[in-house]
Structure 1
């Protein structure tokens, strides 16, 4: 019998040793830096998929989560947004369910960074969540990267001083940890910020410092990024010809590394570079490359699937939070009952009936409160879910209008400019028609931007409308310096008045129509827009000293009927006063 025990103990030791070796192997593969690897993305996918299976076989949770995270990073380089989000969410679940806080903090930051171009609001939400977890646990191996990535979000929003602050915090931790692989990211981030601030020489110095380190550690993807970034500095500096070789070097490496997102971005930068150099053929060539690449990796269906995955993840988190709250309520309820039972036992038989009645009443009241809270919570969650869906739908539509239709109209303008150049020996009438089509397309783009501006807002404040009108008046003044434009504004109790998105854009369109009519047909020397706000009412008046017209002559045109219809749509009073050689006055105001 003793001999059998020895064999069993030896067998357990051998199993433990094998498991430890497997875990060490899984961790070493997961520690491979995807960015610095010389392997192609297809090879990396096979390696990490096999590593995931190995971790799942022995139920090694940390290894499973890290493998999911690495797979998400690779799909990000391939510009496969749907799989990037799906694998990141799987990794987050593994980390949170197994109390792997440093890994969860790091991945929340990475998720926020990955969403920076799609949804800045969600990007900041996830980034802040990861940063808070990392700071609470003082996870320096997470903080250095998260500070750097948070600086990128600030830079994209034009907050350059804040970006520099976070970049320097990240660099300090990288240097403290002597983390060589992290230095290029800090240097590149600082360089980008200095470039936008106009310090071009310092920006290039930092980019070259980053490139030297990346060459030492054979970070091919990072070297490609640095070439693109150096080219961007020359482009911002107004030296497009010097930017071209760097963009071309970046494309050469990005193709070899199958870095699709960088290829798409660099095509766009080359198109802009040749446009600045007035080489329209090359600009159009690279713009078509960019457009084809973008369409192939940014389909509307993929965007829908990513949004669905994010909603599923957020819903699951909300449900888990509700379950936690219910558990806490149940524990508190149990604690109250135990205390009450102790009190009842000590008081004696004389007051048992009274206390029993009180206990029943307390329990019922508490139950009612709990049910009421649960009902209120369900209603609140339903409202939030509905608002989120409406907001996502509105943002999706506005983004589709801006990205797809806007890009197509821009493509038309570039094509017309190119056509005009190719037909330089053609008659004046053809050139004028091409110029008219190009001008009409530019006007359409401006009107599309106005519509997207309105769609992106739940409400339009008076301040928003005031700034929009002021910008329009400034543009009109710059285009017609022979006309005196005026914008007069009075306000009282500004905070009480807000327009819906439809109401705000209709008011703005009426003002646009009135001013454009005065410019086109009235031959006015002075055009004045007056805006008066009082409590929850408004009045807007557009006056000109032009030649006017006979309003009863039956030739008022579609412009006035369009303005009348827009006023009716927002339940506003519309009036027009004009006569021949006496100017025109148009007013709209809220009904009493």
Structure 2
């Protein structure tokens, strides 16, 4: 099961053979001039290759167009080195566009050609590029293998620039694995080199990655600082793609920091920039970020539209991991929109996608191990031919080959079982989550049914009783004898309706804010003022209580009933001119005090009745207690305290 998190977009470097100091637009104009002046096809191929690279920073459609021109011209010349470079440049453009399948094919083709040419430097570059694709597809084992092979070559040849690039990508890989201390350690080494050499675009990418780590560790101030640094460097470099990615990361960070309005603003700017460079993946991921923002704001229709827009593009790009994450987010959106069929539909899609992903991972691992096995098998055949000439070593080499074969088969079986176990665990977690969601939905339906029955049946009956009583008051033969009694019954029935409405309010709310509870108390006090105009009623919530914080509806009704009981007693017995209600918070508890300035009573001589007993029972339901303090001429205070949950 995918953990609930917003997916990060981490920029992965592709390696280029030239230093890029000027802005992409300036270099493109210069290359266009050189292209017009070029005399040979070999010279034009090199210029087309450079144009492909730099257009990838400005407009991906143009980059792909020049890349295909470079490939066709390279094939015409028959120069295998240039053909491999053209495939590599096309892979970079597809990578930036988010078409990872096409990028992977292009990079593999380049690696095959460079391997046949024994081009060690080119092979290392292709391996680094392939690693970035595997990393984006969450295939960490393959990514780590290619990065380590590329890093070994660059360290051996002393190519500090490329060592820096690969170390950055290894840091990103550790970040994907949530090994944040190791990732930050590698990023610090990478940053030192780039700042020293004024690698502006590369610094922008690096600051993006560091900002995302601090977002994940919930250090949002640091995250915002580094992402703003990334934006500043991206603007300085004139790299629209980096700027687009930075706005995406800013939107993700603001969502994580519970700042949906700022996230929406960042995503909307990012979408315009991504459209400019035609980065379909970035556009889709920013729609995803918008959906998360609208979901936090409970604007479910806009959230649905944004999620569906993102899914449409990501499905075309075959970004299955991202698609499955969005499908899971769609479930609560449709549940909130009271569309259970759609919620179930996206739940089923999510399960199917997770199964497909697991099967693909198993197939890939099996294919890789099969390739290793076949390689070892060929080595075994060669060894057997050599052993035929050296009879003394036949038994030794045969044992070694057998042991190696058994190790490979055992490794294959172990990893297949491990993947199956992981799939079963994910399915179990998903079923548990769905069962919990179904239980919550059923509880909500029961609440609505009970509250509707209370309102439609009991409420209607009480209203009918009031109407009947009011009419009987005017029945002349018994009008004088029963008017007082009818008034008493009518008032009691009205009070019952009020309490019934309070109960329905609490049941429908599910979660109640302090602001909502305060309004309910003030509504009750207003009715008390109308019946007892000689008393001043006040209600105060102190600043150390967040009015938007929530409590269970069952807790809110207990608090309301205790306040009503205390106020009712004060009105009846205290002869007070003022009744004051205050709420405040301590480190561990919430405290409510209902105080009147009435005549008070001697606690030692007065026997407290059912009212206090009811208040104490309600306080116990809250996990708290009720205390009463009074004295003759000192008024009365009822103190309610309960744990702040």
Residue of structure 1 aligned with 2:123, choices 89, 97, 104: 104
Distance apart, 1:157 and its partner CA: 2.5
Aligned twin of 1:284 = 304
2:152 equivalent to 1:132? yes
Q: Deviations over 1:316-335 (max 9, x none)?
A: 5654566567668877x69x
Q: Decide whether the 8 Å contact of 1:81 with 1:306 is kept in 2.
A: no
Task: Identify the residue that residue 48 of structure 2 maps to in structure 1.
Answer: 29
Question: Against the structure 1 CA distance between its residues 29 and 159, is the aligned structure 2 distance closer, same or farther, given a 3 Å change threshold?
Answer: same
Q: Report the Cα distance in structure 2 between the residues aligned to 1:63 and 1:413, rounded to whole angstroms.
A: 62
- Shift, 1:164, TM fit: 1.5
Residue number in structure 2 paired with 1:250 = 270
DSSP 3-state at the match of 2:238:
coil
Partner of 2:163: 143
After TM superposition, give the deviation of residue 397 of structure 1 in Å.
8.2
1:24-60, Cα deviation, whole Å (9 max, x unpaired)? 4433433447476365433322322232233333343
The alignment status of 1:220 with 2:240, answered yes or no, reads yes
Q: What is aligned with 1:207?
A: 227
Instruction: Tell me if the contact between 1:115 and 1:123 (Cα under 8 Å) persists in the aligned partners.
Output: yes
What is the rounded CA distance, in whole Å, between the counterparts of 2:438 and 2:282 in structure 1? 25
CA contact (8 A) 2:52 2:67 kept: no
Tell me by how many angstroms 1:22 deviates.
4.2
- Spell out the pairing of 1:420-435 with structure 2 (5 A cutoff): none
Per-residue Cα deviation, 1:386-444 (whole angstroms, up to 9, x for no partner) = 555666677678779989x9999999999999999x99x977899x9xx99x9xxxxxx
Among 90, 94, 101, the residue aligned to 2:109: 90
- CA distance in 1 between counterparts of 2:255 and 2:110 reads 39
Q: 1:320 to 1:142 in 2, by over 3 A?
A: farther
Q: Which residue of structure 2 aligns with residue 113 of structure 1?
A: 132
Aligned partner of residue 56 in structure 1, secondary structure: helix
2:258 alignment partner, SS class: coil
CA contact (8 A) 1:264 1:294 kept: yes
Aligned positions of 1:121-520 closer than 5 A: 121-296=141-316, 297-298=318-319, 315-316=370-371, 319-320=374-375, 323=378, 363-385=390-412
Please give the alpha-carbon distance, in whole angstroms, between the structure 2 residues aligned to 1:414 and 1:288: 25
Q: Is the 8 A contact 1:174 1:183 kept in 2?
A: yes
**Which whole-Å deviations, capped at 9, do the CAs of 1:151-171 have from their partners, x for residues lacking one?**
222222322221111112222
Please point out which of 74, 83, 86 is paired with 1:67. Answer: 86
Q: CA deviation at 1:175?
A: 3.6
Between the aligned partners of 1:417 and 1:130, the Cα distance in structure 2 is 57
Residue-by-residue CA offset, 1:215-249 (whole Å, 9 max, x unaligned):
34432221111111122232233322222100111
Give CA deviations for 1:350-383 in whole Å, capped at 9, x if unaligned: xxxxxxxxxxxxx334345445544554554455
Where 2:90 maps in the other structure, the secondary structure is: helix
Cα-to-partner distance string for 1:463-493 (whole Å, 9 max, x where unaligned): xxxxxxxxxxxxxxx9xx9xxxxxxxxxxxx
Q: 2:74 aligns with which of 27, 32, 55?
A: 55
CA pair 322-148 structure 1, distance change in 2 beyond 3 A: same
Larger Rg: 2
- Report if aligned partners of 1:36, 1:218 keep a CA contact under 8 Å in 2: no
3-state DSSP of counterpart to 1:115: helix
> In the aligned structure 2, how far is the partner of 1:246 from the partner of 1:120?
30
- Is 1:44 aligned with 2:63? yes
Contact 2:380/2:401 (<8 A) preserved: no
Query: Aligned pair in 2 of structure 1 residues 253, 31: CA closer, same or farther (>3 Å)?
Result: same
CA contact (8 A) 1:89 1:313 kept: no
Superposed displacement of residue 71, structure 1: 2.2
Q: Structure 2 length as normaliser, TM-score?
A: 0.50
Structure 1 distance, partners of 2:42, 2:429, is 49
**Structure 1 contact 280–414 (Cα < 8 Å) conserved:** no
CA contact (8 A) 2:87 2:107 kept: yes
Cα distance change of structure 1 residues 410 and 105 upon mapping to structure 2, 3 Å threshold: farther
**CA deviation vs aligned residue, 1:255-286 (integer Å, no higher than 9, x gap):** 33332222232222222222222333333332
Does the 8 Å contact 2:274/2:283 carry over to 1?
Answer: yes
Q: What CA distance in whole angstroms lies between the structure 2 residues aligned with 1:291 and 1:126?
A: 30
RMSD value, Cα = 4.9
410-419 or 190-199: bigger deviation = 410-419
Cα distance in 1, alignment partners of residues 433 and 72 from structure 2: 43
CA offset at residue 125 of structure 1? Answer: 2.9
Change beyond 3 A, Cα 1:398–1:288 = farther
* Aligned-partner Cα distance in 1 for 2:306–2:433: 14
1:416 and 1:295 mapped to 2: Cα distance? 33
